[in-house]
């Protein structure tokens, strides 16, 4: 009985071994097919610039399958399907595998086959508009050490005299802000650059200002955008600065090197001839941006890009209002001292809270605000909040930033004025931002790192993975 049973038992054992062998070979070859399909649509392959080919996919497959000894590829086919918004690569193969025990039964080989499919959505076209606060408050030292250095360097500086101006002489000593000023004639007209102002003192002594960090961060962002692109001209970028006026620094361009070069012009706004403050107007900036940006597209083509507005600011609005705004606060003259396309402040009828002509407030985020107007057009707003560092020797900081209630709102957390995480300024800016696109500079995350993080978040939100 054993002799009779031994033959079919041996056949069964041999068949099991050969079946296991075939399954192992198929698994390894399926893996090679996966590699070929996925590698063909990976970012490094630039599939939307260089459409995968039959020969190219086969070359990748053969390289991966070369490690599978004992199998002979008998057929291979790659099907590449490029749609309007996606790309699919399907790999089909057949291979001949030598059997161990099958030869005794007159079947020395057997075939295995497999299929692998990989798809990737077309990376969208995206326009990024950077709206950067360059008001005098961005002349604050970038770090506590820079603030202290500027205060020390400007100690005992003589006052600046402004002829025919009610303010008369303005003391500028021991100041943490690098005020950027012109010289003026007896009529209050600009005659040149005040090379003795705090701005020039900071420059001459290597003090880094927040505006300097913002300029560098913007240029670094253009490099990141260029290296992140999946194909040429995927991203376009424009750069604007605003105080109570609005300046075009770099018009929208797909050439990141050009944008970076133009971004070198990002600089601190001049303080006005009468030393009035009121130089941060979100109404002006967002109104001009709304007229500059088209409605958001679906991202499928260069003619229909997605739209992102990056707003970088310290979050405190300080603008002329009511009768003080007149028909629109004019730009400083002569225009040759200003960046190109300098547009004046927009007139408004809001009531002020300082002498009725100056409004210090938070950015508006209700349904009638410019934040809502922009977002309602399909444009995503990403906000980067650059909080004030404590400057306790400065009257404006002590009155309006540290603790003062305004319209029944505290600008900052009254329990901890130095904590930007829970203050009213940050919460207002978060309300302006599209959901998930609010970021804040912290003691451990500088402007550059925060801007990079916000950009990566914006890109990842619209880049669908394979």
Alpha helices in 125-176 (DSSP H): 144-153
Residue 248 and residue 151 share a domain: yes
> Total structural domains in the chain?
2
Residue 209 pLDDT grade (very low, low, confident, very high; cuts 50, 70, 90)? very high
Within this chain, do residues 26 and 40 fall inside the same structural domain, yes or no?
Answer: yes
pLDDT above 90: residue 122: no
Model pLDDT for residues 240-265, shown as the tens digit of each residue:
999 878 889 999 999 999 999 999 99
Number of H helices, E strands in the chain: 11, 17
Mean pLDDT throughout 437-450? 82
393 or 81: which carries more pLDDT confidence? 81
User: Are residues 187 and 85 part of one domain?
Assistant: no
Does residue 275 belong to any structural domain of this protein?
yes
Confidence of residue 104 (pLDDT cuts 50, 70, 90): low
Residue-number span of the structural domain to which 418 is assigned:
126-462
Q: How far is CA 305 from each of CA 49, 122, 130, 154, 379, rounded to the nearest angstrom?
A: 18, 13, 16, 48, 10
Q: Residue 466 pLDDT more than 90?
A: no
What is the sign of the dihedral through the CA atoms of 154, 386, 370 and 239? positive
Query: With bands split at pLDDT 50, 70 and 90, how would you rate the model's confidence at 418?
Result: very low
Residue 461 backbone phi and psi in degrees, to 5: -75, -20
Residue bearing the bigger pLDDT, 285 or 181: 285
* Predicted confidence (pLDDT) at residue 136 exceeds the cutoff of 80: yes
Q: Are residues 147 and 64 in the same domain?
A: no
Neighbours of 64 (CB within 10 A): 18
Residues 318 and 384 reside in one and the same domain = yes
pLDDT band at 362 (very low <50, low <70, confident <90, very high): confident
Q: What is the CATH number of the domain that holds 330?
A: 3.40.50.410
Which tens digit of pLDDT belongs to each residue from 343-358?
878 888 888 887 778 8
Q: With b meaning 16 or more CB within 10 Å and e meaning fewer, what string describes 45-62?
A: bebbeeebeeebbbebbe
Model pLDDT, residue 12? 58
Question: DSSP letters along 205-273, please?
Answer: TTPPBHHHHHHHHHHHHHHHHHHH-SSTTSEEEEEEEESSSEEEEEEEES-HHHHHHHGGG--PPPPPT
Strand partners, 54: none
Please check whether residues 130 and 112 belong to one and the same domain.
no
Burial class (CB in 10 A: 0-12, 13-18, 19+), 131: buried
pLDDT band at 137 (very low <50, low <70, confident <90, very high): confident
| 212 located within any domain | yes
Of 76, 91, 121, which one is at a domain's C-terminal end? 121
User: Do the beta carbons of residue 357 and residue 324 sit within 8 Å?
Assistant: yes
Strand partners, 130: 239, 310
For the CA atoms of 337, 338, 341, 343, what is the dihedral angle to 10 degrees?
-120
Closest CA to 244 of 145, 134, 148, 162: 134
User: Computed from CA positions of residues 282, 283, 288, 289, in that sequence, does the dihedral angle turn out positive or negative?
Assistant: positive
- Side-chain-facing half-sphere of 20: CA atoms under 13 Å: 8
Residues 117 and 130 reside in one and the same domain: no
% of the chain residues with pLDDT over 90: 33
Within this chain, do residues 426 and 288 fall inside the same structural domain, yes or no? yes
Residues 258 and 324 in one domain: yes
Q: Are 112 and 95 in contact (CB under 8 A)?
A: yes
The gap between the terminal CA atoms of the chain, to the nearest Å, is: 60
- Do 346 and 302 contact (CB within 8 A), yes or no? no
Q: Phi, psi (5° rounding) for residue 182?
A: -95, 170
Tens-place pLDDT, residues 19-52: 777 888 899 999 999 999 989 888 677 776 678 8
Question: Is the predicted pLDDT of residue 146 greater than 80, yes or no?
Answer: yes
pLDDT at residue 321, rounded to an integer: 83
pLDDT per position as a tens digit, 301-339: 888 999 999 999 988 888 888 877 776 766 655 445 555
If 0-12 CB within 10 Å is exposed, 13-18 middle and 19+ buried, where does residue 231 land? middle
> Biggest alpha carbon distance in the chain?
125
Co-location of 430 and 405 in the same domain: yes
Asked if residue 103 is part of any domain, the answer here is: yes
Same domain, 108 and 156: no
Q: How far apart are CA 96 and CA 80, in angstroms?
A: 25
Q: Rounded CA gap, 99 and 186, in Å?
A: 102
Q: Of 121, 152, 171, which closes a domain?
A: 121
Is 107 within a domain? yes
* 464 within 8 A of 320, measured Cβ to Cβ: no
Residues forming a β-bridge with 190: 184
Question: Cα separation of 73 and 97, whole Å?
Answer: 9
Which carries the bigger pLDDT value, residue 52 or residue 388? 52
CATH number at residue 50: 3.30.1300
Residue 292 maps to a domain:
yes
Cβ atoms of residues 282 and 363 within 8 Å: yes
Q: Is residue 26 part of a domain?
A: yes
Q: How far apart are CA 256 and CA 223, in angstroms?
A: 7
Interhelix angle 447-462/210-228, rounded to 10 degrees, is: 30
Q: Flag whether pLDDT at 403 surpasses 70.
A: no
- Together in a domain, 450 and 371: yes
443 or 60: which leads in pLDDT: 60
Residue 245 lies in a domain: yes
In a domain, 1, yes or no: no
Single residue among 121, 139, 173 that ends a domain in this structure: 121
User: Comparing 65-79, 178-192, 204-218, which segment has the lowest mean pLDDT?
Assistant: 178-192
């Amino acid at each position: 009985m054993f002799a009779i049973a031994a033959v079919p038992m041996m056949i069964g054992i041999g068949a099991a071994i050969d079946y296991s062998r075939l399954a192992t070979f198929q698994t390894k070859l399926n893996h090679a097919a996966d590699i070929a399909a996925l590698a063909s649509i990976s970012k490094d392959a630039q599939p939307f610039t260089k459409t995968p080919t039959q020969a190219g996919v086969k070359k990748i497959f053969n390289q991966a399958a070369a490690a599978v000894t004992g199998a002979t590829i008998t057929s291979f086919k790659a099907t590449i399907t490029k749609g309007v918004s996606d790309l699919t690569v399907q790999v089909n193969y057949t291979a001949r595998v030598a059997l161990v025990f099958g030869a005794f039964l007159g079947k020395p080989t057997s075939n295995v086959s497999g299929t692998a499919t990989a798809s990737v959505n077309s990376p969208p076209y995206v326009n990024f508009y950077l709206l950067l606060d360059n008001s005098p408050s961005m002349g604050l030292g970038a770090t506590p050490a820079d603030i202290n250095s500027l205060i020390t360097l400007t100690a005992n500086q003589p006052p600046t005299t402004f002829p025919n101006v009610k303010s008369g002489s303005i003391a500028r000593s021991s100041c943490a802000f690098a005020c950027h000023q012109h010289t003026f004639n007896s009529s209050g007209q600009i005659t040149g650059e005040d090379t003795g102002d705090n701005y020039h003192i900071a420059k001459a002594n290597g003090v880094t200002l927040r505006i300097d960090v913002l300029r560098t961060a913007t240029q670094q962002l253009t490099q990141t955008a260029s290296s992140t692109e999946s194909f040429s001209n995927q991203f376009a970028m424009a750069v604007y600065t605003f105080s109570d006026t609005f300046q075009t620094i770099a018009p929208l361009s797909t050439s990141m090197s050009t944008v970076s070069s133009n971004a070198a012009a990002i600089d601190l706004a001049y303080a006005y001839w009468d030393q009035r403050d009121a130089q941060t107007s979100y109404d002006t900036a967002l109104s001009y941006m709304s007229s500059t940006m088209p409605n958001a597209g679906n991202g499928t083509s260069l003619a229909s890009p997605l739209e992102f507005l990056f707003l970088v600011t310290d979050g405190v609005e300080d603008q002329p209002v009511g009768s003080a705004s007149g028909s629109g606060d004019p730009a400083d003259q002569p225009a040759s001292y200003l960046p190109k396309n300098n547009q004046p402040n927009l007139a408004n009828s809001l009531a002020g809270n300082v002498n009725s002509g100056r409004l210090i407030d938070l950015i508006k985020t209700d349904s009638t605000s410019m934040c809502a107007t922009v977002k309602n057009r399909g444009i995503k707003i990403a906000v980067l909040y650059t909080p004030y560092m404590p400057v306790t020797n400065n009257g404006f900081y002590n009155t309006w930033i540290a603790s003062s209630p305004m319209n029944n709102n505290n600008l900052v957390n009254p329990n901890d004025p130095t904590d930007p995480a829970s203050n009213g300024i940050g919460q207002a800016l978060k309300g302006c931002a599209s959901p998930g696109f609010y970021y804040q500079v912290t003691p451990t995350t500088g402007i550059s790192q925060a801007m990079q993080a916000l950009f990566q978040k914006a890109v990842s939100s619209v880049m669908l993975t394979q």
